[in-house]
Amino acid sequence: MSSISEYLRTRGLSLDPVEVDTDPIMESEQLINEAGELWEGKKNLITMVLQARINAIAKQILEKAQPEEVLVLRQSLVELGAIVTDFEKYKGESLRRKAATSNEDNTLSAEPVQPEEGKEGSL
């Protein structure tokens, strides 16, 4: 039997103790934008994929799971739901960063207003 690390690696995922405290998406402007756009454009599809997995686990809980397996399977359901929260977080962060960049651009591009001649100091 292979280890969980090997199992994840065969699926393009990793279980690296050095990286468990990092979120590579939050560290990359491009990835945050891509995740936000993906969620905005494909939210229904992503939700349906997660729901299909949730249904399969729920069926397993109801039909096959041994009592000692139920807690682990329930935690799996919670973690799948957390993926939606993650996408919402990335979308929100993407919007926040875009707004901050837009505000910076507006501040930098605004030219100082010069008072008209003969009207200095008055509004």
Q: What amino acid occupies position 64?
A: K
Using the Cα atoms of residue 7, residue 12, residue 16 and residue 22 in order, give the sign of their dihedral: negative
Report yes or no on 105 lying in a domain.
Answer: no
Distance between CA 75 and CA 58 in Å, rounded? 11
Contacts (Cβ under 8 Å, ≥6 apart) of 4: 15
Report angle CA 24, 74, 92 to the nearest 5 degrees: 35
Q: In this structure, is residue 111 part of a structural domain?
A: no
Q: Which residue range(s) make up the domain with 45?
A: 23-96
**pTM score, two decimals?**
0.74
Domain assignment present for residue 54? The answer is yes
Number of domain units in the chain: 1
Would you write out the chain's pLDDT as a tens digit for each of its 123 residues?
Answer: 578 888 888 988 888 877 888 899 999 999 999 999 999 999 999 999 999 999 999 999 999 999 999 999 999 999 999 999 999 999 999 999 999 888 877 776 655 555 555 554 444
Output the six-digit token pair for 8: 């994840």
Q: Judge whether 5 lies within some domain.
A: no
